[in-house]
């Protein structure tokens, strides 16, 4: 057993859970990237693919998001009816029998969601007939020897012909489709060098490659001035000591070429549909040391934001996995922060949204950091919301309802885009009809036939406050429509609800509220038990606890006297923060192979004083009874099934250390004395997080500060860690770790937008199947 004692502070999400989150207010952009293979499958029929689109958008709506970034161009191929480029690989290089983009827009708008067309800009790796790489090989980037890329092909932003052609492809989408935004990915010079062309995989594997996974050597070669033969020239601008005319350096020319394209496209969009927001997928780090947009791939996103060449700055914030990291990247780790370089754009009111890499949080076993990251970003005054990469990661965790009930608890509108337009729409009118004991129908008459969104509000006051009143839904319409508020009876409120509606035009400018309409006093049913863990007659280990979930917010009084066990056991019962779940732990191990009966007294009440409805007949005053078993003998200790990082000789300085176990641990027995990280004889301050994952579990240990590069560390894990049956791990586990020499090392996540590898490779029936 370790006898060294050290302390640490757990992050807010660990201490308080998702229920302790701050609200995001009524204005917050919330989106998720949806990759091609997530929304289309060449082996499915048109109707099956359309059903998949509906399911994707239903999930996004369930999470109370308000936008999707929908991939429409990938590798120089199209996932819409294009007159320039062929259908893409995941459509089978043929018309799929429907227009995926038109259908997605139609269904997104039905749900009140924005749809931004996600467009891979200069990456044109597909060489199928009709693609730009096949038709115009002279557009492909070259290296200093004049050699053209033979794999991972990218068009040169420095060629006027490339910029003109790409603007035409983009503008066809803008003109022909009712999109809300246009989102530029790979809006930069490529990062490939001649080594990437040697023994390169076939095209199919290139498209599947996990973009941005680099070794230490690779990063050193990418560092500015390292002399690698990168593909950052073209046929009209071959390598030489003198940069193109009018530029002091080659880097200035490269940045200007990308900026010229962005400005040209923005002007073109504004001339046709000025409400369509242009945004880039900007590298998470603007400039400075390590991997960044400005110096490494010549992407000057801050300039575009400040000068108004884009309307929303969307970051790919994939290097950061903690709330502290996100706050540092945004405003506290200056001068390497966005705040120092975006003053003009922020003062102009343009939207600014970081983009957590959900797949990275999954890879690092810190998925539950999502709430803390959201909370931390909300503390930054200029953050307007989030976009998450990607849909597949959220679907893997079935995270939609969890998010929609916690950190995205209610729908939101997007902040008014007054820097694009100051027009205020007219208000709608509303009529209310009671259609049932717990339902009200609102009939909304729109002010005109213009397409607009309508925010439906509900309040318990006699007035309207669009900043604090609850938004029930946002509906996209151009004619009269109805909305039904179907109450569950489990709401805590039992007074009178008032309703009103506002118009939100394409710029999210909001009208004055409609007149208030009021119902009558609503029925609030007595509380019921909606679930137990374990379920009725379920089995647990002798070291486990149980949980009881209720339909309503319960009275906060101590519940111990209202809970009874047979056979009798000592226990401790605690309400969670929203008083809808009761967690019961046992200070002593339960008896083996025993059948327990749990009784909850009928006198248990909700916040309105209504007594427990144990038999769920809508009448209070009944006890609730359920049963569970404990397992028999289990004398097998837990086993460490895996450890991360796998390469302990070159760990990243910001890595977490993960132990995976073949069974759950006794969580209440875990403490900081059981783990320690040392640099020589110096104890390093750490924090830990335990997570049960089905029949397995994981223990994550992380230094509270980045580790030092090229440094030896020793990690100890005590052998007295026990499973839920009280079996100890055994001998102390020792891991010898050496960090890599670079700050951003071994695993560099950049945009991961052209591959299925790594976090999710869909294969199930009815979902998008990987190629």
Condensed to tens digits (0 to 9), the pLDDT of residues 405-439 reads 999 999 999 999 999 999 999 999 999 999 999 99
- Per DSSP, helices labelled H in 26-70 are 36-39, 46-62
Least confident window among 90-104, 345-359, 366-380, 713-727: 713-727
What is the pLDDT at residue 212? 43
For the chain, which residues make up each domain, given as ranges? 31-316, 429-511, 529-630, 640-738
Residue 237 structure tokens: 């601008």
Instruction: Read off the pLDDT band of 196 (50, 70, 90).
Output: confident
What is the pLDDT at residue 4? 28
**Cα–Cα distance measured from residue 679 to residue 33, given in angstroms and rounded to the nearest whole number:** 40
What is the pLDDT at residue 747? 37
Give the orientation angle of helix 46-62 with respect to helix 100-110, to 10 degrees: 30
Q: pTM of this prediction? A: 0.82
First to last CA, the chain: 50
Q: Tell me the three state secondary structure of residue 474.
A: strand
Instruction: Read off the pLDDT band of 209 (50, 70, 90).
Output: low
Hey, what CATH class is 640-738 in? mainly beta
Q: 429-511: same fold as 31-316? A: no
- Per DSSP, helices labelled H in 63-122 are 100-110
Could you tell me the maximum CA-CA distance found in the chain, to the nearest angstrom? 88
Average pLDDT over residues 212-237: 70
Q: Is 470 exposed, middle or buried (0-12, 13-18, 19+ CB in 10 A)?
A: middle
Q: What is the 3-state secondary structure (H, E, C) of 303-354?
A: HHHHHCCCCEEEEEECCCCCHHHHHHHHHHCCCCCCHHHCHHHHHHCCEEEC
Average pLDDT over residues 192-219: 67
What is the pLDDT at residue 198? 86
List the CATH code of the domain at 529-630.
Answer: 2.60.40.3710
**Cα–Cα distance measured from residue 557 to residue 553, given in angstroms and rounded to the nearest whole number:** 12
**Averaging pLDDT over each range in 508-512, 700-704, 761-765, which range is the top one?**
508-512
The fold of the 31-316 domain, in CATH, is: TIM Barrel (3.20.20)
Question: CB of 671 within 8 A of CB of 695?
Answer: no
**Cα–Cα distance measured from residue 311 to residue 418, given in angstroms and rounded to the nearest whole number:** 11
**Cα–Cα distance measured from residue 163 to residue 173, given in angstroms and rounded to the nearest whole number:** 16
**Cα–Cα distance measured from residue 28 to residue 419, given in angstroms and rounded to the nearest whole number:** 17
Residue 399 structure tokens: 């995270």
How much is the mean pLDDT over the chain? Answer: 89
Residue scoring higher pLDDT (202 or 325): 325
Hey, what CATH class is 429-511 in? mainly beta
């Amino acid at each position: 057993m370790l006898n060294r004692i050290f302390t640490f502070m757990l992050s807010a999400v660990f201490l308080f859970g998702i229920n302790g989150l701050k609200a995001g207010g009524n204005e917050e952009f919330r989106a998720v990237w949806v990759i091609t293979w997530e929304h289309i499958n060449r082996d499915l029929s048109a109707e099956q693919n359309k059903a998949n689109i509906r399911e994707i958008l239903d999930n996004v709506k369930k999470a109370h998001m308000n936008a999707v970034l929908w991939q429409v161009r990938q590798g120089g191929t199209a996932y819409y009816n294009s007159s320039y480029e062929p259908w893409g690989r995941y459509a089978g290089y043929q018309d799929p029998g429907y227009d995926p983009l038109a259908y997605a827009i139609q269904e997104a708008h039905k749900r009140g969601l924005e749809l931004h067309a996600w467009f891979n800009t200069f990456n044109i790796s597909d060489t199928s007939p009709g693609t730009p790489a096949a038709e115009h090989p002279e557009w492909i980037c070259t290296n200093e020897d004049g050699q053209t890329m033979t794999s991972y092909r990218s068009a040169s932003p420095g060629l006027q012909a490339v910029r003109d052609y790409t603007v035409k492809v983009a503008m066809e989408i803008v003109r022909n489709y009712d999109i809300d935004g246009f989102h530029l990915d790979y809006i930069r010079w490529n990062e490939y060098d001649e080594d990437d062309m040697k023994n390169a995989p076939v095209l199919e594997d290139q498209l599947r490659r996990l973009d941005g996974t680099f070794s230490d050597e690779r990063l050193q070669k990418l560092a500015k001035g390292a002399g690698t033969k990168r593909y950052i020239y073209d046929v009209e601008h071959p390598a030489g000591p003198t940069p193109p005319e009018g530029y002091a350096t080659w880097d200035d020319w490269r940045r200007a070429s990308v900026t010229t394209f962005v400005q040209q496209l923005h002007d073109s969009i504004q001339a046709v549909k000025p409400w369509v927001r242009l945004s880039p997928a900007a590298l998470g780090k603007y400039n400075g040391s390590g991997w960044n947009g400005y110096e490494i791939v010549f992407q000057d996103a801050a300039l575009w934001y400040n000068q108004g060449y884009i309307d929303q700055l969307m970051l790919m914030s994939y290097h950061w996995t903690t709330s502290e990291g996100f706050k540092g990247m945004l405003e506290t780790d200056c001068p390497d922060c966005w705040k120092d370089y975006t003053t003009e754009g922020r003062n102009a009111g343009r939207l600014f949204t970081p983009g957590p890499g959900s797949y990275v949080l999954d890879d690092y076993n810190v998925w539950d950091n999502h709430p803390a990251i959201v909370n931390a970003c909300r503390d930054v005054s200029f953050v307007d919301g989030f976009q998450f990469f990607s849909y597949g990661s959220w679907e893997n965790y079935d995270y939609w309802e969890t998010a929609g009930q916690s950190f995205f608890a209610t729908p939101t509108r997007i902040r008014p885009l007054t820097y694009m337009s100051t027009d205020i729409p007219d208000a709608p009118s509303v009529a209310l009809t009671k259609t049932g004991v717990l339902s009200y129908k609102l009939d909304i008459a729109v002010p005109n036939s213009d397409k607009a969104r309508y925010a439906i509000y509900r309040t318990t006051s006699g007035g309207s406050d669009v900043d604090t009143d609850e938004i029930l839904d946002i509906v996209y319409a151009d004619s009269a429509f109805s909305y039904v508020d179907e109450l569950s009876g489990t709401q805590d409120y039992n007074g009178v609800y008032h309703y009103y509606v506002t118009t939100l035009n394409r710029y999210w400018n909001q009208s004055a509220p409609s007149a208030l309409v009021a119902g009558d006093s609503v029925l609030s049913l007595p509380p019921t038990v909606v679930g137990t863990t374990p379920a009725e007659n379920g089995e647990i280990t002798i070291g486990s606890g149980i949980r009881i979930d209720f339909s309503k917010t319960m009275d906060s009084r101590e519940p111990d006297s209202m809970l009874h066990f047979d056979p009798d056991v000592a226990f401790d019962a605690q309400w969670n923060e929203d008083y809808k779940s009761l967690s019961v732990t046992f200070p002593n191990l339960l008896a083996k192979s025993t059948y327990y009966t749990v009784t909850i007294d009928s006198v248990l009440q909700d916040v309105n004083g209504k007594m427990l409805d144990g038999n769920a007949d809508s009448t209070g005053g009944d006890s609730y009874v359920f049963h569970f078993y404990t397992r028999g003998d289990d004398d097998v200790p837990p086993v460490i099934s895996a450890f991360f990082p796998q390469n302990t000789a070159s760990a990243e300085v910001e890595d977490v250390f993960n132990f995976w176990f073949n069974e759950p641990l006794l969580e209440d027995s875990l403490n900081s004395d059981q783990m320690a990280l040392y640099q020589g004889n110096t104890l390093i301050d750490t924090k830990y997080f335990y997570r049960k994952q089905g029949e397995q579990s994981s223990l994550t240990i992380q230094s509270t500060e980045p580790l030092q590069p090229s440094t030896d560390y020793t990690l100890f894990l005590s052998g007295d860690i026990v499973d839920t049956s009280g079996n100890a791990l055994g001998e102390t586990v020792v891991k010898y770790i050496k960090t890599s020499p670079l700050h951003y090392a071994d695993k560099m996540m950049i945009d991961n937008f052209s591959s299925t590898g790594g976090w999710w490779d869909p294969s199930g029936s009815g979902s998008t199947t990987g190629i």
